[in-house]
Amino acid sequence: MTVEIKGMEYELSTKLRVTKELEQLHGKPFPQILQELPGMDIDGQLTVLYASLKVGGLEMSKDEFYEWAYDRLEYADVNWAARQILPKLFRPARIRDFLV
């Protein structure tokens, strides 16, 4: 999946590095972030989106991204994107298949 920001397309990454970025941004271990998704507020969901885009190549500060997002995105789109990203980061079957 990609997102267009200021005329450039960026990948919504689901690489392992996104989990590390999320842990740093949220200040919590990744499993706890995953459990909080159903009740996560818009800022938490934007942080998920930002971490994914940052790993996908976005060169924008978190504050710049928030300002951009608040002026251009809709709640449903942010919620949908966060719900697409987090589960893809936690798929044990993918790791198991890789190791076989």
In angstroms, the Cα distances linking 37 to 30, 63, 78, 85 are 11, 21, 12, 11
Tell me the C-alpha distance between 74 and 99, whole Å: 39
- Asked if residue 19 belongs to a domain, the reply is yes
CB atoms within 10 A of CB 63: 9
- Asked if residue 52 belongs to a domain, the reply is yes
- Asked if residue 12 belongs to a domain, the reply is yes
- Asked if residue 77 belongs to a domain, the reply is yes
User: Which pLDDT tens digit goes with each residue over 35-93?
Assistant: 887 788 999 999 999 999 999 999 999 999 999 999 999 999 998 888 888 778 766 54
- Asked if residue 99 belongs to a domain, the reply is no
- Asked if residue 100 belongs to a domain, the reply is no
User: What residues make up the domain containing 83?
Assistant: 2-94
Give the pLDDT score at 98.
44
Domains: count for the chain: 1
- The model's pTM: 0.83
Give the pLDDT score at 33.
83
Rg (CA), the chain: 13
Place of tokens 């928030």: 66
CA angle, residues 47, 65, 4, in degrees to nearest 5: 105
